[in-house]
Structures are given as C-alpha cells and as structure tokens.
C-alpha cells in the first residue's frame, strides 16, 4: 500500500537536547519549538552545534539526552529512514551512479508512491531543470546540483525540510537567486523549513524566525528585525551585523531610562530596551544609527554623545561609507553614513563628535569582555 | 634573462614542438614496446605455431614438425573437456567464495576503521602478510592441516561428521578451499581501495530518503563499489582458471581434481606432447578473453576499467 503523501508541514520540538561527543559537548542544552509551515534559521559560527542539531533532527545522530518530536510524535530513537524528514545536504550528496531523474525519484520509489517518474519530473520542472533529467550529477554545475538536491528532498513532501548550508558553495549572484527561489518554493508548498547557516544575511533575508547559536546553546531567538534591533547578548550584537559597544557602571536611573558612566561620558538607554538595570552593563548601538558632527552637539537628554575623536579610516562600500573614528582613551567607534548623492564631507584626520539617539541604544545582559574571557 | 630564454624556447616555431614531442614519446615508449615484443608477442606466436605442429614421420616421442593441424584443438577438447570444465567451475566457485569473504572484510577495513588509521593499517598489513611466506609452503601447510591422520580429520571422524572412509585431502572441496585462500588478497585489495573512497554522505542521503540499511546497500553501496568488484573478480578468476598448484596431487589435489593447468603441465613435462599442451593454453586464453569481455560488457562498467 502506498504511504500517505503528506502535503503539509509539521511542527518540530526539541526538548532538553544534549549531545556529548568523546572529549567535548556539541550541544549543551537545547529547547526549541518550530511551528508548522515556518521558515526557521539556525544561525551560528562553525562549531556552534548547529549542524549537530540538524543531524539529530534528521535521525543521522542520536542525542545523549532529550526528546525530539515531529508533529507531536516522539522520533528521538527512530531511524533516519523512518522519519518524515528530508535533508538538502551541504555536499548535495547526489548519487553519482544515477541520472538526475532517478536521483529525484529515489525517495518516492522507496515509499512506493504511485507514478514516481511523473512526480520527479514535476519536481525538476519546479526547480527549472526539466531539460537535464537524463544527465548525471557530475555533468551539472554546482548551482544545478544544488537545485537537484532541493528537488530530491522536496518531491517527498516531507513534514520537515532540513537545509544544511546548501547555498554555501555558490557564488554571490547565484546565491541571491537561489535564496529568492527557495523562499518562493517554501511559500508555495507550505512545508516547515529548518535552515542551518553561518551567513547572517541569508538567515535574516529568508527566515521567519532566526535562532542565534553559540557554543552549543541558543543565545537568542526571534524575528530577524527584532534580533537586529535589540540583541540581548554581546555575541548576538557582534555576530548579527555590527555593533558599537560601551561598558560602564550604572550611575543614574529613573522610571524610563538608565544611564552609565562610560569613561567620563554619560550614555543613556531606555529601560525597556535594556536587559540588565544595575551594576556594570553594556550599551550598544548599530553603526548606521550613529552620526558624527564637526562640532560638539548641544546637550540633549534624548541624545548620547561621545568624542571628540579622529577619523582614521573611511571605506566606500557603494551604498554607504563606513567611518572608523578613534576617540582617545575610549577606543574605536564605527559609523555608517548612506551615500545620498553627496560625497563625504570629511576627510581622514578630521576631528568629530559621535552621537546617537537614546531610543536607538540597546542594553545587553552580558559584557563583551566576559564573553571574550569565556572563550 | 630568464624571460628572454623562456620566450625563445617557447614561441618561435609552432610546428616543431608537436613533432619532436611525438618523437620523444616514441623514444620513451621504446623499452616498453621492446619488452612486449620480446616477452609477450614472441612467446605467443611460438605457442600458436607449436599448437599446430604435426608429429615427426619417424614417430619418435617429443619430436614434431611445422604444420597446420587444426585437429590438435578438437582432439585436445575431446580428450580434456572435463578438465576444462572443472577449471572454470572451480574458478567460478572460488571467485564467488573469495568475494563473499572479502567484501565484508574490505568494508570493515575501508569504512568502519576509517576513524582508526593505525588499526586500519595494521589489519591491512595482515591481509598482505601471507605474501611474505612462499605460496607453495602455505599451500603445503594446508595439506598438513587437513591430512588424513591430522587433527581436523580425526576430529571430524570421531564426531561422525565425516564417514570413516572419507577424507578431505584430494577432494574438490580441498582444492577450491586452497584456491580461495590463496587468491583472497587479490580480491580484498581492489575492494578495499573502492570502499575506502566510498562517500559515506551518500549512504546518509539514502537513509534520509527512506531507504533502510539493506536497500541502501543494494541501491547505493553495491553499484558505487562495482568497479572494485569487477577488478577483484577479474584478478582472482583469471589466475585461478589457469592455476596448477592447488589441484596438483603433490599439494591439495587428488586423482580426480586435475585442472587445465595440470594437464598442460603433464603434457609438456611428462608426455612431451607439446602441440596438445600449446593448444590447451591457447584455448584457455581464448575462453578467458571471451568470458571477461562478456562479463565487463554485461556489468556495464567498461568505462570504469
């Protein structure tokens, strides 16, 4: 009898997952819930445990502790071939002894789905490779192989599709195209996607929810805009985009805001944008939300000011200019200014003050030096 | 200076480099060609000429004259067809047995021990270790192990697994056992080479696509390692079909186990019937050539060889 052809995504829950290998712990403690039909990205540097997580979900590895539930069903100890999950591997892992069409039909044949060839052809058409059905994988380019790997996984209509950095090997232009295509396919077929990547732009661009992973733990999870606007830890602030971070003791606080003393400068952050309200805390701001001035700005409780400093580097990146400003006794601050038709008005060595609005500041739960010393 | 020299050497005459390259290639090939002509082509032609010779008019044994007697072949087949058939049946059984034993061994060495290179190297050495001892000595040792008054046979007799009148030495089983044993490394090594390169991520992909361990082996591992199976079976089947040591009564064989190689040996050295021995050798070569081409064609891997 033909196995039921699942047409919708299922939700995934990881409960208290821990995975130890001889000599190190890849995942310390992981709790995660991905609602059905969501595009979820696990973002982190290499070695953070994100690929191990993926392998646990795929069934290619077993957790030391914890439970994995797909669509409410406990699959922790079921084999990879018993799970309603398919993976697009980083290496694509296409079978070299089969044609493209047979590669795509492989999963359908295993599950004895009716008319596997017709369905495989449809899937190839979806990724615009119908004309290459009878080629061998080694005759295809990297981008084409990637799309075959995607079709081979998608054609099975898995409850959950796992993507293990599938775009890593592609050049920038192709990667952008594939990102758009992948997102469109996900919307069209309505499957749950779990995407593992170290590319923060890719994660923010495609995912509904991003979880930033570091050293076997999830540091922060949420919608991309929220993560970017209000990172909770120094790691997230630095890994997801760039940040200017300032650490100091809290010297003043009222019902709405708290202020720290940062080497003689008073910096303020709204209370609801700060994770920690006392002691030694870190306040940060994104470089594009900071501006610089040729003269000291007038005192304003809504604006944080530091300086004066000296511009030591200017980088032209097309859309914007990136200024690196060295402030004596304080360190370097980065400011992005969009190129809105005017050429930069300052040159290297100019003396400037940096300012940013209090409402754009964010307060972290840890301090960057702590995070560094842990490493 | 260096650039000038480079330019002078490389660019001016476009036609000459190819021509002189061809000459250089020919020159480098000469030793190989000479070797082939001297040690392969000449004996082959001599063998074919001998296989067609006719007995001398004097009737003296071992003296022959040049001729073109094709009946030498039909006579040889008529007289020795059981030996020819036995050779190929033995070779087939021993090759299959070697494959069945070697594949799991090579899989263990090449796949399971990948993370333990020291153990892998050690065990691989053990596979080759028998080569350090003479082939004849090892074969003779097996005869001692299975000799009529040896421990193994006595044990089998006492337990009743073997009739009191039955022995192992000199049987078909003994010869096939010896052939399998002696040629197993030739099967294991090519299999190991392909299994060692097997991309395990493909097996994971197969698992991910709902194929269990057995299906994954049949649909992924086996087809991908087919080149190793082909070269391993060829490397064992061909020499086994021509072997004359294992089946010889001096070693593991008996009166009813003589293979083609034993007939060739006795025709040449004992009865001095050179044409028959040569005809049988040419026949063996021809049959193997046909079998191998059909086999390679059938397995669809001619581009892999």
Q: Each residue of A111-166: pLDDT tens digit?
A: 999 999 999 999 998 888 899 999 999 999 888 898 899 899 989 989 899 999 88
Query: Which residues on neighbouring strands pair with residue A164, listed in sequence order?
Result: A196
Residues 6 or more apart in contact with residue A223 via CB below 8 angstroms: A208, A209, A210
Least confident span in A184-198, B34-48, B191-205: A184-198
Find, in chain A, the residue whose alpha carbon is nearest to that of B224. A97
At residue A343 the predicted structure's pLDDT band, cuts being 50, 70 and 90, is low
Mean pLDDT, residues B238-245: 93
- Cβ–Cβ gap B215/A87 under 8 Å: no
Q: Does A339 touch chain B (CB under 8 A)?
A: no
State how far residue B38 is from chain A, nearest Cα, in angstroms: 42
State how far residue B198 is from chain A, nearest Cα, in angstroms: 11
Residue A292 has pLDDT above 70, yes or no: yes
Q: What are the distances in angstroms from CA A55 to CA A19, A52, A58, A192, A281?
A: 11, 5, 5, 16, 37
**Residues A295/A353, Cβ–Cβ less than 8 Å:** yes
- Cβ–Cβ gap A85/B220 under 8 Å: no
At residue B190 the predicted structure's pLDDT band, cuts being 50, 70 and 90, is very high
Peptide bond into A308 cis (omega under 30): yes
Query: Which residue in the set B199, B209, B224 is minimally distant from A110, CB to CB?
Result: B209
Q: Each residue of A328-337: pLDDT tens digit?
A: 888 889 999 8
Query: Which residue in the set B207, B210, B223 is minimally distant from A97, CB to CB?
Result: B223
**Residues A63/A34, Cβ–Cβ less than 8 Å:** no
At residue B242 the predicted structure's pLDDT band, cuts being 50, 70 and 90, is very high
A365/A337 Cα distance (integer angstroms)? 28
At residue B102 the predicted structure's pLDDT band, cuts being 50, 70 and 90, is very high
Chain B residue numbers touching A91 (CB-CB < 8 A): 199, 201
**Residues A221/A236, Cβ–Cβ less than 8 Å:** no
Buried b (16+ CB within 10 A) or exposed e, B114-134: eeeeeebeeebeebeeeeeee
Helix axes B274-298, B226-241, angle to 10 degrees: 170
- ipTM > 0.85 (yes/no): no
Task: Report helix, strand or coil for A303.
Answer: strand
Tell me phi and psi for residue A24, to 5 degrees: -155, 165
Look up tokens 């044990």; give the residue: B155
Chain B residue numbers touching A97 (CB-CB < 8 A): 220, 223-224
Residue B189 has pLDDT above 60, yes or no: yes
**Residues A155/B208, Cβ–Cβ less than 8 Å:** no
Q: What pLDDT, on a 0 to 100 scale, did the predictor assign at position B63?
A: 83
At residue A178 the predicted structure's pLDDT band, cuts being 50, 70 and 90, is confident
Q: What pLDDT, on a 0 to 100 scale, did the predictor assign at position A370?
A: 52
E runs forming strands in chain A: 12-21, 24-34, 39-43, 65-70, 73-74, 85-88, 160-164, 192-197, 209-214, 217-222, 244-253, 257-262, 265-270, 280-285, 290-293, 303-316, 320-327, 331-338, 351-357, 362-363
A-B contacts at Cβ under 8 angstroms? 58
A242/B184 Cα distance (integer angstroms)? 62
């Amino acid at each position: 009898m033909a196995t039921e052809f699942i047409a919708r995504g299922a939700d995934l829950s990881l409960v208290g997952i821990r995975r130890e290998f001889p000599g190190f712990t890849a995942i310390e403690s992981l709790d995660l819930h991905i609602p059905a039909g969501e595009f979820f990205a696990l973002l982190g540097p290499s070695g953070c445990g994100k690929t191990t997580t993926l392998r646990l979900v795929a069934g290619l590895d077993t957790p030391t502790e914890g439970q994995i539930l797909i669509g409410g069903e406990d699959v922790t100890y079921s084999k990879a071939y018993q799970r309603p999950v398919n993976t697009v591997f980083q290496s694509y892992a296409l079978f070299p002894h089969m044609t493209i069409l047979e590669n795509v039909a492989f999963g359908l044949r295993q599950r004895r789905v009716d008319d596997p060839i017709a369905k495989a052809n449809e899937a190839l058409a979806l990724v615009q490779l119908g004309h290459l059905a009878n080629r061998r994988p080694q005759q295809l380019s990297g981008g084409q192989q990637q799309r075959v790997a995607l079709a081979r996984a998608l054609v099975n209509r898995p409850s959950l599709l796992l993507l293990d950095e599938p775009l890593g090997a592609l050049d920038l232009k192709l990667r952008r195209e594939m990102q758009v295509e992948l997102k469109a396919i996900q919307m069209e077929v309505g499957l749950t996607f779990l995407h593992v990547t170290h590319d923060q732009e890719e994660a923010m661009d495609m995912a509904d929810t991003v979880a930033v992973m570091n050293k076997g733990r999830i540091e922060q999870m949420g919608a991309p805009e929220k993560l970017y606007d209000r990172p909770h830890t120094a790691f997230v602030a630095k890994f997801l985009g760039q940040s200017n971070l300032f650490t100091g003791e809290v010297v003043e606080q009222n019902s709405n805001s708290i202020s720290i003393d940062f080497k003689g400068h008073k910096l303020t952050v709204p209370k609801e944008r700060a994770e920690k309200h006392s002691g030694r805390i870190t306040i940060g701001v994104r470089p594009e939300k900071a501006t610089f001035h040729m003269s000291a700005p007038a005192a304003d409780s809504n604006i944080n000011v530091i300086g004066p400093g000296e511009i030591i580097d200017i980088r032209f990146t097309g859309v914007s200019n990136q200024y690196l400003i060295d402030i004596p006794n304080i360190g370097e601050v980065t400011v992005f200014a969009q190129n809105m038709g005017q050429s930069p008005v300052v040159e290297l060595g100019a003396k400037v003050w940096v300012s940013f609005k209090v409402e754009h500041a964010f307060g972290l739960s840890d301090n960057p030096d702590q995070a560094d010393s842990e490493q | 200076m260096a650039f000038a020299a480079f330019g002078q050497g490389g660019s001016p005459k476009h036609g000459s480099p190819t021509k002189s390259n061809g000459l250089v290639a020919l020159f480098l090939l000469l030793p190989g060609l000479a070797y082939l002509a001297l040690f392969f082509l000449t004996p082959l032609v001599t063998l074919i000429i001998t296989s067609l010779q006719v007995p001398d008019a004097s009737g003296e044994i071992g003296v022959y004259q040049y001729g073109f007697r094709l009946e030498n072949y039909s006579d040889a087949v008529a007289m020795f067809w059981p030996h020819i058939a036995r050779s190929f049946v033995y070779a087939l059984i021993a090759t299959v047995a070697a494959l069945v034993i070697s594949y799991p061994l090579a899989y263990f060495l090449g796949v399971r021990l990948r993370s333990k290179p020291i153990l892998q190297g050690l065990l691989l050495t053990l596979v080759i270790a028998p080569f350090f001892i003479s082939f004849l000595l090892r074969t003779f040792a097996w005869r001692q192990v299975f000799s009529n008054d040896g421990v193994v046979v006595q044990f089998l007799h006492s337990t009743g697994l073997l009739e009191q009148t039955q022995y192992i030495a000199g049987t078909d089983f003994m010869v096939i056992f010896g052939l399998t044993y002696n040629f197993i490394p030739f099967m294991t090594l090519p299999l190991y080479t392909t299994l060692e390169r097997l991309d395990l991520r493909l097996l994971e992909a197969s698992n991910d696509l709902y194929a269990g361990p057995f299906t994954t082996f049949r649909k992924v591992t086996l087809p991908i390692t087919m080149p190793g199976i082909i070269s391993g079976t060829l490397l064992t089947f061909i020499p086994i079909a021509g072997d004359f040591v294992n089946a010889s009564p001096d070693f593991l064989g008996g009166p009813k186990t003589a293979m083609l190689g034993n007939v060739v040996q006795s025709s040449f050295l004992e009865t001095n019937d050179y044409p028959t021995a040569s005809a049988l050798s040419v026949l063996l070569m021809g049959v193997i050539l046909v079998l191998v081409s059909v086999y390679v064609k059938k397995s669809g891997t001619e581009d892999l060889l």
